[in-house]
Chain A
């Protein structure tokens, strides 16, 4: 769940980041677009206003000019036609127009052409003194009427006498002007002189008396002449625009769109340029209703530059959103972290509380348990028959296991709090495995499954490491296996790591040179698989072929490398193989996850919390190893782990062996045994246990083979002085076998093949099989095999019980040895406690003196004194144990100084180099803090109150054993 949750959390986080960035980017893009559009709109608005402004200006200027031309027309009609004689001549006109030219900035110049009917031409020509000319400066051909220029401004004086009707444009203009009575314009064309684009304005001049609503005919009739002027649109517009601001930004085209499909350019470049998308069209009204004009403005010769704000502002917003998002994200993260931390703290708190609780409770459990164990110790000292002894031993082992379990529960709390330390003490791996096996023996017997241990000979007898954790791992694994196995076997193997690898590598060759063909065939016919029980195991590496290789390999290695310097580190491979229900494939990847069993039905059927394997994994990793497993559903599981231990030096081995409570009896050395067993793995296990007892072993597949070999061997050598033991596996046994075997053996004895009748021991896996053993079997051993069980059986069969009893009871004997004849001072203010402690010590032969307070103790301990040790209560009125100890130590150090100064030499005590009385605290609550305080004030150790034999022994052994005089 943790993994899933983490992944989901990660996805959520990722999605949040992506969403945040997306929002920021889209806001950025959106605001950028908005600013751009806004900018465009503003530009367009500016363009429209600029365009309209220009259009209006041009229009106004134009109108002003037109109005003035209109005024000139009135002037002409007034002074030329209504005065007799006319008050106007060319000179006056030229002068007047030149003077008023500022009023018509758009006009190059004005000229007046009179309407002349053909009939009047001659009179007119003679009066003027010139002939009417066409535009091409030729004398005009005959026309219906003419419009020769009579007056002209000086700027356009070159058109004098030219008939305006001769030009196509002008003629049209004249006709239209006189018909409408308004100013009319030509379409734009190139002007004569400047070659600029321009238009010609024509204004009719009527004789007086024309009514406002005159018809066209009346107008034509009343027409006297025409006033005309040329607008140089191009240069004029340019002049005009030059006066206005923002000229660079704008391009202007003026069109004549009278013919809408074919607009004629009046101003501006022929091909429109600039940034077309942004443009505006303004209508121009030059006062001529016939002609329509338009002004096209396009803003910006180039694409308008993007304003900086359109980039910076969105970018700023983007940054702000990103920052905001980050802040929210960081806050959320922080919140999550804090929440997680808080949860962890809560957990730790709970764990710490649990740990405290466990520490208290475990103490309360330990005290009565010690009583139970003590009683069992006593019980074992009494005369018991084999079964009773087995039961008592099992009870004792289980009790010890309970005590260690309590410690393990404490450890679990410590592991979870991350405070577990790994011990490094020498221990005997094999006896630990035997203990574990015996712990599960009743279960395995009940279920009828084979439970066996095999430790390779290469594995040193004593290694340095943490026996408790090692036992815990094995117990967990075997416990699991026992729980989930209903048939077949559970097999614990220990090999050296490098050795085991070698075996695995060479497995390939085994078919070629490993086994002889016949042997193999026989094995295959005997049982389906070459495993311990014949059931298939999940990990095929553990079958016989490989196992055998390991064994043989071991032998040659042992021969080869006995003198070699052995490395300091011993890496062991331990495998626990079962033929149980296996682990479902889908559950295999979370086997080591706490509280995760294969499925919910598992805990229903088999119980347990499922934390065991996770603890096991932690422990294995703490011990520098790795754990993994192979499992096949309905076939079984094989858990394999490596463990790193240190090799012990020889002294330590001897030391450890001496203190090991359950040393194996040594009385079997040189004995011989025959194992009748068809299953090679199983007989290797049996052999292993017998070898540990020092018994030489031979193996036969069947009873018959055994008998044959017995006959052959002994008739050849006749050396069998030692008693013979025959161990027969259950499956080589059948009803009536006992009689047959007995007879055969009797026969052998008669034939002098054996000196004594061999003892026959049947090996069975469950109680039930015991029934079928028959009467002539010496004894039956119910598996699992343990060296000590086998030894006990053999002792019983061979009549060596007394020897064994002596060996077994060496624990209290040791304590007796240690304490006998010792002078011990017990200090306790509580009389009852004092009395009990004193008599307990007396029981082991010590001479005890009592003191009821710290002060009494001090006075008794004035140097020199005769005491060998002092047991001191911690909590006493007036002077408590700590204070008393401090004073004693002070006294001693003073005396020691004197000795070293050579100041004092006492006759009998002169051999004592230094005064140091071992002081042991007696305390009811054995907690770490008390212990540390004990050491701080100079005490040497502590014992729990009331006394517990084992602990008392351990505490006392530390200082009393080292004095040679003490062993009496």
Chain B
């Protein structure tokens, strides 16, 4: 596949993610931050985000599994998750986190559980797209480095 085609596919993917509301303007900002000096910036951030999010989702699941839920801890994790998702521009995850936070403030366990599911759902649907995106990016970068060499 040619570089142009790869770029095209990446563009289509990103645009569709925008259209679906998975991403917001912040992601565009990220893309803008990626330039010659930091070629893998977006990929790096995405990877970071994914690692971070998965860790936190595991923690959250554990916390909510317990009989007595420590809502403060839950809130701290959700806040983190919200912060990183808004930094990445993961709009749906962020919105789900906002709802999660509300349930958390109300100490509503059922709400929290359903919100956690929602966050997970949003995260994983985003994650699959991100995976595709990262693959495309890698291939583009591979092309780039080939050309440079």
Residues on B with C-beta less than 8 A from A842 are: 33, 37-38
CA gap between A877 and B33 in the complex, in Å: 28
Decide: A831 and B25 in contact? CB cutoff 8 A.
no
Which of A374, A830, A875 interacts with B29 by CB under 8 Å? A374
Decide: A836 and B88 in contact? CB cutoff 8 A.
yes
Please give the number of chain A residues whose Cβ is less than 8 angstroms from any Cβ of chain B in the complex: 28
CA gap between A372 and B28 in the complex, in Å: 10
Q: Given the known inter-chain contacts A831-B52, A945-B87, please indicate yes or no for A368 contacting B45, CB distance below 8 A.
A: no
Decide: A832 and B84 in contact? CB cutoff 8 A.
yes
Decide: A945 and B86 in contact? CB cutoff 8 A.
yes
Partner-contacting stretch, out of B7-15, B62-70, B75-83, B141-149: B75-83
Decide: A946 and B26 in contact? CB cutoff 8 A.
yes
Residues on A with C-beta less than 8 A from B41 are: 839
Decide: B24 and A924 in contact? CB cutoff 8 A.
no
CA gap between A902 and B32 in the complex, in Å: 49
Indicate with 1 or 0, residue by residue over A833-845, a CB within 8 angstroms of chain B CB atoms: 1011101101100
Residues on B with C-beta less than 8 A from A946 are: 26, 29, 86-87
> Counting CB contacts under 8 A, is A354 at the interface?
no
> Counting CB contacts under 8 A, is A829 at the interface?
yes
Decide: B45 and A836 in contact? CB cutoff 8 A.
yes
CB distance from A4 to the nearest CB of B (A): 46
Residues on A with C-beta less than 8 A from B87 are: 830, 832-833, 835-837, 945-946
> Counting CB contacts under 8 A, is B126 at the interface?
no
Decide: B29 and A831 in contact? CB cutoff 8 A.
no
Which of A367, A831, A836 interacts with B30 by CB under 8 Å? A836
Decide: B83 and A830 in contact? CB cutoff 8 A.
yes
CA gap between A388 and B117 in the complex, in Å: 45
CB distance from A378 to the nearest CB of B (A): 7
Kindly name the residue among B30, B35, B80, B83 whose own CB sees the greatest number of chain A CB atoms within 10 A: B83
Residues on B with C-beta less than 8 A from A843 are: 32-33, 35
Residues on B with C-beta less than 8 A from A877 are: 76
CA gap between A877 and B83 in the complex, in Å: 13
> Counting CB contacts under 8 A, is A327 at the interface?
no
> Counting CB contacts under 8 A, is A279 at the interface?
no
> Counting CB contacts under 8 A, is A134 at the interface?
no
Kindly name the residue among A374, A378, A831, A842 whose own CB sees the greatest number of chain B CB atoms within 10 A: A831
Interface of chain A residues 855 through 913 with chain B (CB within 8 A): 873, 875, 877
Which of A368, A832, A837, A947 interacts with B48 by CB under 8 Å? A832
Residue on A with the closest CB to B73?
A: A877
Residues on B with C-beta less than 8 A from A833 are: 83-84, 87
Residues on A with C-beta less than 8 A from B26 are: 371, 946
Residues on A with C-beta less than 8 A from B82 are: 924
Residues on B with C-beta less than 8 A from A840 are: 29, 33
Which of A370, A829, A830, A836 interacts with B25 by CB under 8 Å? A370
Residue on B with the closest CB to A949?
A: B29
Indicate with 1 or 0, residue by residue over B18-45, a CB within 8 angstroms of chain A CB atoms: 0000001110111011010110010011
Decide: A375 and B25 in contact? CB cutoff 8 A.
yes
Residue on B with the closest CB to A873?
A: B83
Interface of chain B residues 65 through 115 with chain A (CB within 8 A): 76, 79-80, 82-88
Indicate with 1 or 0, residue by residue over A346-375, a CB within 8 angstroms of chain B CB atoms: 000000000000000000000110111011
B: interface residue count bin: 20 to 34
Decide: B33 and A836 in contact? CB cutoff 8 A.
yes
Decide: A829 and B86 in contact? CB cutoff 8 A.
no
CA gap between A873 and B76 in the complex, in Å: 14
Residues on B with C-beta less than 8 A from A839 are: 33, 38, 41, 45
Decide: B29 and A371 in contact? CB cutoff 8 A.
yes
Decide: B80 and A829 in contact? CB cutoff 8 A.
yes
Q: Is the interface of A mostly helix, strand, loop or mixed?
A: helix
Residues on B with C-beta less than 8 A from A372 are: 25
Interface of chain A residues 509 through 540 with chain B (CB within 8 A): none
Q: Given the known inter-chain contacts A836-B45, A924-B86, please indicate yes or no for A830 contacting B33, CB distance below 8 A.
A: no
Residues on B with C-beta less than 8 A from A370 are: 25
CB distance from A362 to the nearest CB of B (A): 16
CB distance from A827 to the nearest CB of B (A): 13
Decide: A832 and B29 in contact? CB cutoff 8 A.
no
Residues on B with C-beta less than 8 A from A945 are: 83, 86-87
Indicate with 1 or 0, residue by residue over A365-397, a CB within 8 angstroms of chain B CB atoms: 001101110110010000000000000000000
Residue on B with the closest CB to A374?
A: B29
Indicate with 1 or 0, residue by residue over A295-325, a CB within 8 angstroms of chain B CB atoms: 0000000000000000000000000000000
Decide: A371 and B24 in contact? CB cutoff 8 A.
yes
CA gap between A947 and B89 in the complex, in Å: 12
CA gap between A947 and B24 in the complex, in Å: 14
Decide: B48 and A875 in contact? CB cutoff 8 A.
no
CB distance from A395 to the nearest CB of B (A): 14
Residues on B with C-beta less than 8 A from A367 are: 25
Q: Given the known inter-chain contacts A830-B84, A842-B38, A945-B83, please indicate yes or no for A835 contacting B32, CB distance below 8 A.
A: no
Decide: A371 and B86 in contact? CB cutoff 8 A.
no
Indicate with 1 or 0, residue by residue over A647-670, a CB within 8 angstroms of chain B CB atoms: 000000000000000000000000
Residue on A with the closest CB to B85?
A: A832
Decide: A375 and B28 in contact? CB cutoff 8 A.
yes
CA gap between A269 and B41 in the complex, in Å: 137
Decide: B49 and A832 in contact? CB cutoff 8 A.
yes
Kindly name the residue among B32, B33, B38 whose own CB sees the greatest number of chain A CB atoms within 10 A: B33
CA gap between A833 and B41 in the complex, in Å: 13
CA gap between A367 and B52 in the complex, in Å: 24
CA gap between A946 and B89 in the complex, in Å: 9
CA gap between A36 and B30 in the complex, in Å: 102
Kindly name the residue among B25, B35, B87 whose own CB sees the greatest number of chain A CB atoms within 10 A: B87
Residues on B with C-beta less than 8 A from A374 are: 25, 28-29
Residue on A with the closest CB to B38?
A: A839
CA gap between A924 and B80 in the complex, in Å: 12
Decide: B80 and A830 in contact? CB cutoff 8 A.
yes
Residues on B with C-beta less than 8 A from A378 are: 32
Residue on B with the closest CB to A378?
A: B32
CB distance from B76 to the nearest CB of A (A): 6
Residue on A with the closest CB to B77?
A: A877
Residues on A with C-beta less than 8 A from B83 are: 828, 830, 832-833, 873, 875, 924, 945
CB distance from B137 to the nearest CB of A (A): 16
Residues on A with C-beta less than 8 A from B38 are: 839, 842
Decide: B84 and A831 in contact? CB cutoff 8 A.
yes
CA gap between A133 and B48 in the complex, in Å: 168
CA gap between A136 and B83 in the complex, in Å: 150
CB distance from B20 to the nearest CB of A (A): 15
Residues on B with C-beta less than 8 A from A873 are: 83
CA gap between A833 and B86 in the complex, in Å: 8
CB distance from B53 to the nearest CB of A (A): 8
CB distance from B84 to the nearest CB of A (A): 4
Which of A371, A829, A836 interacts with B28 by CB under 8 Å? A371
Interface of chain A residues 88 through 122 with chain B (CB within 8 A): none
CB distance from A197 to the nearest CB of B (A): 115
CA gap between A668 and B82 in the complex, in Å: 51
CA gap between A831 and B76 in the complex, in Å: 15
Residue on B with the closest CB to A370?
A: B25
CA gap between A842 and B82 in the complex, in Å: 24
CB distance from B29 to the nearest CB of A (A): 6
CB distance from B146 to the nearest CB of A (A): 25
CB distance from B66 to the nearest CB of A (A): 19
The 9 closest A-B CB pairs, nearest first, are A371-B25, A832-B84, A833-B87, A830-B83, A836-B87, A832-B49, A839-B33, A830-B84, A832-B87
Residues of B at the A interface (CB closer than 8 Å) are 24-26, 28-30, 32-33, 35, 37-38, 41, 44-45, 48-49, 52, 76, 79-80, 82-88
Show 25 residue pairs from A and B whose CB-CB distance is below 8 angstroms, ordered by the A residue: A368-B24, A368-B25, A370-B25, A371-B29, A372-B25, A374-B25, A374-B28, A374-B29, A375-B28, A830-B83, A830-B87, A832-B83, A833-B87, A835-B48, A836-B29, A836-B33, A836-B87, A836-B88, A842-B37, A842-B38, A873-B83, A924-B82, A924-B83, A945-B83, A946-B29
Known pairs A374-B28, A877-B76, A946-B29. 6 more at Cβ < 8 A?
A371-B25, A831-B84, A832-B45, A832-B84, A832-B87, A836-B33
